Amino acid sequence: MTEQHDQDTTVSGFDALLEDDSAQDTPPSSTNHNFYTYSVGDPYRTIDDHNGTDLLMFKDATSREIVIEKRDEDNFCVIFYKGEPVLEMRGVEYIQTADGVFSLERWGIR
């Protein structure tokens, strides 16, 4: 599993990255930026989105409580919460947790 880096990779001014301010949890389109939500306790989920700038709102957890591991064979990132895989994603650039909005670099993902 990828260890979280202690350096601050908080994204400031995230709102400026998204010109479309309507929150969504729908399949991607070619012009939309998408917001996805996951709450602790939700069923396992897969997000595959290559369009726009995408944000996962991971509710009820801090950035230190999740671990992200990238699978080389398909470039999906798997998110672990308390040691259990809860979500896999590809194409999501940012994660919002209880303590801020972070790029995947926070967890060593490039």
- Residue-range domain boundaries for the chain: 14-20+32-107
Interval 46-73: pLDDT, tens: 999 988 899 999 999 999 999 999 999 9
Indicate whether 38 pLDDT > 50.
yes
Quick: pLDDT tens for 73-110.
999 999 999 999 999 999 999 999 999 999 999 999 98
pTM (two decimals): 0.72
Flag whether pLDDT at 5 surpasses 90: no
Concatenated DSSP letters for 46-98? EEE--SS--EEEEET--GGGEEEEE-TTT--EEEEETTEEEEEEES--EEEET
